[in-house]
Amino acid sequence: MNDTILVTGACGQIGTELVLALRKIYKNVIASDLKEPIGELKDTGEFVRLDVLYKNGLNDCVKRFKVTQIYHLAAVLSATGERNPEMAWRINMKGLRNILDVCVKNGIAKLFFPSTIAVFGPTTPRVNTPQFTVMEPNTIYGISKQAGERWCDWYFQKKGLDVRSLRYPGLISYKTKAGGGTTDYAVDIFFEAVEKKQYTCFLKADTVLPMMYMPDAIRGTIELMEAPSQKISTRSGYNFAGFSFSPAELATVIQTQMPEFAISYAPDFRQQIAESWPQSIDDAVARQDWSWKPEYSLTDMSEDMLRNIAAMHTSV
């Protein structure tokens, strides 16, 4: 396809896989980050070193490559955000404001903004959390993403910017590890299962959270962005669900494939963050509007993770 796509935060957990998936569909996909890319990401297309806090640099890049769509993934996640609230606010808020302004200035056709289940808070109904409900996030990450959703909606209403967004649950993947989030245990557990046959979890055994396998997340993101504009009924963030589980439930699934695997628990400050988030998400509006449907079950995901991580370890 003829669009030219810019992806910010391209070296992160979502970015590395999203850029490669987009490059299979679009001829021109420019990856950008502060970090240098490695592997396939580096070898398959253009990379630009870009700091989303510098609007002029962003603007120059958009003009130089005649960018028509932006996926703005650069952000600080929940656990890092609680350790460094000032930095999280600056990157998540100022970064987004710069992108929104550059989009309007350059007539960008579509913008993707990743929101999160962290926009919900302790007063939100935690089971089957609806699309529209009480939202009182109490992490800086959640506050910044909720404000981001409101800005996105405002830019759609007032400036006509075609912005689309998903409230990602915890994302599980093996190609690039997660970093700085509260749901990261669900990635780390697989690497440690393969490497050490044991894992010490930083959340309590019965802490249920919404999660999704990365192939579903990537497919859903692209499906949302390719849906006709008239089908998009919310410009803040769509609830987006895969499956839900607790660390103990995940350990049991891993043990069916690796009986010797052992888990222990040492909850830290991330426990409080996890307890402020939903346990499961109602994504009926996404299913209705643009036919969203996840494919991977918890067992499918677990088998695929263990198989791929084991293969990565035998090939080095």
Q: How far is residue 126's CA from residue 275's CA, in Å, rounded to a whole number?
A: 9
Return the number of other C-beta atoms located less than 10 Å from residue 273's C-beta: 22
SS3 state at 2: coil
Q: How far is the CB of 78 from ligand AKB (least distance, A)?
A: 3
The nearer residue to ligand AKB, 116 or 146, going by C-beta atoms, is 116
Find all residues with CB under 8 Å of 175, minimum gap 6, and list them: 16, 17, 214
User: What are the helix (H) ranges across 117-269?
Assistant: 140-159, 185-196, 214-226, 247-257
By DSSP bridging, strand 47-49 and strand 170-172 are unpaired
Find all residues with CB under 8 Å of 89, minimum gap 6, and list them: 140, 144
Q: How far is the CB of 77 from ligand AKB (least distance, A)?
A: 4
The nearer residue to ligand AKB, 45 or 215, going by C-beta atoms, is 215
Check binding of 202 to ligand AKB (CB under 6 A). Answer: no
Query: Using the rule CB under 6 A, which residue among 181, 220, 242, 278 binds ligand AKB?
Result: 181
Q: How far is residue 62's CA from residue 59's CA, in Å, rounded to a whole number?
A: 5
The nearer residue to ligand AKB, 61 or 250, going by C-beta atoms, is 250
Check binding of 117 to ligand AKB (CB under 6 A). Answer: yes
Check binding of 118 to ligand AKB (CB under 6 A). Answer: yes
Check binding of 279 to ligand AKB (CB under 6 A). Answer: no
For 137, the token pair is 């996030």
Check binding of 168 to ligand AKB (CB under 6 A). Answer: yes
Check binding of 152 to ligand AKB (CB under 6 A). Answer: no
Which has the closest alpha carbon to 213: 248, 250, 238? 250
By DSSP bridging, strand 163-168 and strand 47-49 are unpaired
- Which residues from 121-150 bind ligand AKB, rule CB under 6 A? 141
Q: How far is residue 121's CA from residue 138's CA, in Å, rounded to a whole number?
A: 6
- Which residues from 51-110 bind ligand AKB, rule CB under 6 A? 77-78
Catalytic residue, candidates 141, 174, 213, 238: 141
Q: How far is residue 310's CA from residue 301's CA, in Å, rounded to a whole number?
A: 14
Q: Which single residue is written with the structure tokens 């067992």?
A: 299
Query: Using the rule CB under 6 A, which residue among 170, 220, 278, 294 binds ligand AKB?
Result: 170
Check binding of 217 to ligand AKB (CB under 6 A). Answer: no
Query: Using the rule CB under 6 A, which residue among 32, 182, 246, 276 binds ligand AKB?
Result: 182
The nearer residue to ligand AKB, 77 or 224, going by C-beta atoms, is 77
Check binding of 116 to ligand AKB (CB under 6 A). Answer: yes
Q: How far is the CB of 244 from ligand AKB (least distance, A)?
A: 12
Q: How far is the CB of 302 from ligand AKB (least distance, A)?
A: 18
Q: What's the first-to-final CA gap in the chain, in angstroms?
A: 36
Q: Which single residue is written with the structure tokens 């849906």?
A: 227
296 is catalytic: no
Check binding of 4 to ligand AKB (CB under 6 A). Answer: no
Task: List, by residue number, the catalytic residues.
Answer: 141
Binding site for ligand AKB (CB under 6 A): 77-78, 116-118, 141, 168, 170, 181-183
